[in-house]
A and B are shown apart, each in its own frame.
Chain A
């Protein structure tokens, strides 16, 4: 849970997924909004869960350039559950086709962002939903 009412946000990308312009922008906007930000690369999805536990985050933002979310997301969601981290809000970003959004939301993804999404909307969502 957040300390002193400041949301803690973990932003991650697989280390071979080099398209990080969007995620870095989100990091910088989260920082400007006063959130605590951890920005990291991972190799295996269980590392995302480990970092989330270790850093006690409220939000996880995962960025994918067109692929791998269908392979990585279920593992992250399962790991969060096993570590009693179900309360963590998981959002995805990147080039994720609209046709996949329902499938991802069914697995527990709160929101999916892509090119041209409203970043302030994301900031407001965190402010509104992260429990103080």
Chain B
């Protein structure tokens, strides 16, 4: 990176610096949140081995460490993608319209509606089932049928706007969305948006959805369908944010996501799909947390590692197939209940880090989330945080603005090395599926979570307003509450919907889903999603389609996992 003369000067100047700090007689070294030892200063000597062209390159050039694109925010700002969803579909529509009015923007004049389902919707449970009690429309929208989704999206240009469907079992609601779009005369090939497709794992809990291998088959079949029928759809979201929330540091968030994506891509390749086509639909939901520089360096290393995996392991040649698509979801576990307005400041730093990392979409949790689900006011503040960052701070003027910093380049290199190390450990353990099923990954997360709290309780880690500068003031922020009538209304609507359908036709279509799953089990790809869409058109509910899938695909371990210790 530097000529011999510069390096010689750097060594001399370093000696002078060493002498200057010797008088303090203290060790000023520290550690990142991932535990990487950090010196108090960095110089050209620390990055002399880096080859500018091969290891870094220009933004928009392989290995894409600096950016996916030659120009980024100068040309096209990141997508505002705040998550929203509560109550009935029309309640959520109100929030969608409020965010639109507040200036939420996506790419090229479209918008991205990041819609979250309630817990029952997440797990394929209809509101009329006992397990839904207490959860209907609470932490997301209660939306279970083609009519429901119409109540939420009525009049919207589905070919222009991105619709992001955040729910767990993915396929049933995706099918319902496609059935709705086609009923409005929008061909499925014109749709754009995201499904989660994370059916193969729930990092955060003892409960899985489908058992890992069957789940991976379903995820792959969804990708098979998208590649062939909805080429612009972002079919898969690898959930780094959840891994982080469960206890992963930056190194493990990145590595566990990459290992997950490799498992998905291996499965797609085995199904005969072309990596240059399916890789473009895989995205990563990335947490940006408190350790400002470490997360930026993680991000840069992550882009590079993913590009090299796409290139070397899958032989991709299209740049789009090597790009790391990112939706930043800034840290939630680092927001606290005490003095909650401080969370706005925390999230602003996280968002600044994400912008300096070159993310492509952003979601910031609301300051009142440790108290309840966001109010309209707090949801709009998350959007304002992004808008202030974009229009007032000037961080968007230059691509990869921190490049060339001795510290940033050194730490990016270290993140890359640490990431490769963890990936190798997972490969050596038999790959992601085995490591996941045997609990190897979960153990790392639990340990990370325990350690974080231990550091707070001992005062080693300072959290302002919690273990330092704490006050005894009463909490002034009140929790937002969706309409308590939602559960009753949603259940009545479902009953009415079922009463108005041709039951024999619905039953036959649901049986078609079962048959398609049986074919999937035999290795015949591409039949499950079309069958789910037919079921949705025959007025099957999301819960009913989910249960049809479960008749063949093995649903995860029994819910009542009991651990004794």
Contacts and interface: CB of A to CB of B under 8 A. Distances in A.
Contacts of B550: none
Given A15-B207, A28-B446, A51-B562, A66 B131 contact: no
B467 to A, nearest CB: 9
Contacts, number: 118
Given A21-B245, A21-B247, A38-B564, A116 B134 contact: no
A70 B479 CA distance: 15
B561 A43 contact: no
Given A15-B207, A38-B564, A116 B478 contact: no
Interface size class of B (residues with CB under 8 A): 35 or more
A28 B446 CA distance: 9
A41 interface: yes
Contact of A31 (B135, B138, B565): B565
Interface residues of A, number: 42
Interface string A76-88: 0000000000000
A115 B562 contact: no
Contacts of B133: 68, 71-72
B563 A38 contact: yes
A15 B560 contact: yes
Interface in A18-49: 18-21, 24-25, 27-28, 31, 36-44, 47
Interface centre among A17, A51, A69, A70 (most CB of B within 10 A): A17
A21 B135 CA distance: 19
A114 B246 contact: no
Nearest to B563: A39
B135 A16 contact: yes
B453 A25 contact: yes
Nearest to A71: B134
B205 interface: yes
Contact of A43 (B135, B139, B369, B560): B560
A120 interface: yes
B206 A20 contact: yes
A20 B446 CA distance: 11
Given A16-B207, A43-B131, A95-B371, A120 B457 contact: yes
A16 B123 contact: yes
B337 A66 contact: no
A104 B353 CA distance: 41
Interface string A97-124: 1110000000000000011100110000
7 contacts: A20-B206, A24-B449, A40-B560, A42-B560, A66-B139, A115-B336, A119-B453
Interface of B: 119-120, 122-123, 125, 130-131, 133-135, 138-139, 202, 204-207, 245-247, 333, 336-338, 369-373, 446, 449-450, 453, 457, 466, 475, 478-479, 559-565
Interface of A: 13-21, 24-25, 27-28, 31, 36-44, 47, 51, 65-72, 95, 97-99, 114-116, 119-120
Q: What 6 A-B pairs come out closest when comparing CB atoms?
A: A68-B134, A71-B134, A15-B559, A97-B479, A67-B138, A18-B205
